[in-house]
Amino acid sequence: MPISKTLEKFGYPNTLIKEYRHWCLLLRPKQATLGSLVLVCKEPVAKFSEISAESFQEYTQIVPEVEKALYRTFPYNKINYLTLMMVDPDVHTHIIPRHEQPLRFEGKEYRDFDWPGMPTLQKVNELSGVDFRKLHGVLMEKLLGLPSGPRRFKRVYTTGCFDMFHTGHLNILRRSKEIADYLIVGISTDELMEQEKGKRPVMAYEKRAEIVAAVRYVDEVVPQVDKNKQKIVTQYQIDAITVGDDWNGKYPPVSCEVVYFPYTTEVSSTALEAKIREL
């Protein structure tokens, strides 16, 4: 998925709470009210009337889901939607829960400065980096069913080929680190990829390992020489393995917990390789 300037401005992928087929739901970096979100369309359009029918249909499904999650987290008095495209041209909607009374989160008080008038987004609540990450984790819990808080497991393992690194790879690493004190990433060797896919990778193992090791969410990179996950669990004392939800019901049994994350369907190394050949 091409990253638009609007997604970049609002902190994608670090602020991503949930990725849908046509939209990205982000925690607004500047919290006009506690729980303020931004819903950004992935399509390169500048008018709400130009989004596809599929995007509009998904939008109507996202809204009630988000409203319920926000109300479970911080019960609001009203909720406002601002779809402006004045400064940031890509279609996006600010979702602003409105609170008549101040709210408390992590021992601090947060106000709705514009209540009872329209939200101006001029005054914002300042959150420390730690509190912002905690808020992000709480909302991910409500919308994705993830455990609350920034950590859950001591040692987490995830794996992949990571050939032609893309946002789908970044998503799984970021989400894995959300629940890990220490994240270990297994990268398939060139020999394993040839054995499994019948061809060598575009990028050699050493280069793929160098890229993944440079990602701030990753604590350690190890080679994946076969698909025996239990051997890895035992060798590295793994508490949980993370994997895309396309593996749900098909993942081989292991002695640790398996956590499934939404699979990023819009981008893959195979699709990128095909696009490169086309160009």
Please check the confidence at residue 51 and state whether its pLDDT lies above 60.
Answer: yes
Residue 199 is a catalytic residue: yes
Parallel/antiparallel/unpaired status of strands 153-160 and 108-110: unpaired
Mean predicted confidence (pLDDT) in 117-129: 92
Write out pLDDT tens, residues 193-222: 999 888 888 899 999 999 999 998 999 999
Residue 197 is a catalytic residue: yes
Q: What tokens were used for 50?
A: 């130009």
Please check the confidence at residue 127 and state whether its pLDDT lies above 90.
Answer: yes
- The catalytic residue among 68, 78, 123, 197 is 197
Are residues 55 and 22 in contact, defined by beta-carbon separation less than 8 angstroms?
Answer: yes
Burial of 111 (0-12, 13-18, 19+ CB in 10 A): middle
Check: CATH 3.30.365.10 for 5-144? no
Please check the confidence at residue 278 and state whether its pLDDT lies above 70.
Answer: no
% of the chain beyond a pLDDT of 90? 59
Report how many helices (DSSP H) and strands (DSSP E) the chain contains, helices first: 8, 12
CA distances from 128 to 134, 197, 207 (A): 10, 46, 36
Helix (H) or strand (E) holding 230: helix 229-236
Write down the pLDDT at residue 151: 54
Please check the confidence at residue 269 and state whether its pLDDT lies above 60.
Answer: no
Please check the confidence at residue 159 and state whether its pLDDT lies above 60.
Answer: yes
**Which carries the bigger pLDDT value, residue 226 or residue 143?**
226
Please check the confidence at residue 60 and state whether its pLDDT lies above 50.
Answer: yes
The residues that bridge with 261 in the sheet, in sequence order, are: 244
**Which carries the bigger pLDDT value, residue 269 or residue 108?**
108
Domain 153-278, CATH among 3.40.50.300, 3.90.180.10, 3.40.50.2300, 3.40.50.620: 3.40.50.620
Write down the pLDDT at residue 67: 94
Please give the angle made by the CA atoms of 25, 67 and 169, to the nearest 5 degrees. 20
Q: Where exactly are the structural domains of the chain?
A: 5-144, 153-278
**To the nearest whole number, what is the mean pLDDT of the chain?**
88
Please check the confidence at residue 147 and state whether its pLDDT lies above 60.
Answer: no
Predicted TM-score of the model (pTM): 0.56
Write down the pLDDT at residue 184: 97
